[in-house]
Amino acid sequence: MAARRKSNIPWFCLLFILMCYVSFSACQQPQVYEANHTIENKSWYYDDVLVFETEIQDTAPPYNLYVHIRHSSKYAYANLWLKIKTVFPDGTERTDPLNIPMANDEGRWYGSGVGSVLSNQVQIQKNAILQQIGKYRFEIWQDMRVDPIPEIMDVGFMIEKAEGQ
């Protein structure tokens, strides 16, 4: 009488499921919020205030905040001056100037791109403590000496949990 061979299929399936779970967990980003606004006709006027709103429910971890600028290679400046207003859940406000470097001293663009379209993502705050639970509102507008500022295509804002959180 021949011995009956045990099947390895259940162990293989368990191992496969475990590997998929670990891979999926490792690929998840700590991103909490991300949104982008398209700039009409690539001309950003002073009074075009871009509004980003999100709910923050977890005040324990620190967060990293980013601004993302998509522009054409015809953009004529090495930086982009912005103003950013934060409206906290309790209604208090804070407005800060923000200088986004767009190119180095040799004129090479920061960020990356294909053809004449470039994307530049800049961390504007590291390990920010968002102490209030509720809706945060971020308003961003251009603060250059030119109105409108040409060749800006999109502006985005992203919040992520700081690494290790």
Rounded Cα distance between 121 and 71, Å, is 11
pLDDT of residue 97: 97
pLDDT of residue 24: 43
Residue type, 23: S
The band of 138, judged by pLDDT with boundaries at 50, 70 and 90, is: very high
Tens digits of residue pLDDT in 52-103: 999 999 999 999 999 999 999 999 999 999 999 999 999 999 999 999 999 9
Which CATH code for domain 31-161? 2.60.120
Nearest 5°: the CA angle 62, 125, 31 is 55
Residue with tokens 């700590």: 30
Beta bridge partners of 50: 140
Neighbouring-strand partners of residue 123: 66
What are the residue ranges spanned by the domains of the chain?
Answer: 31-161
Residue keyed to tokens 């590997």? 19
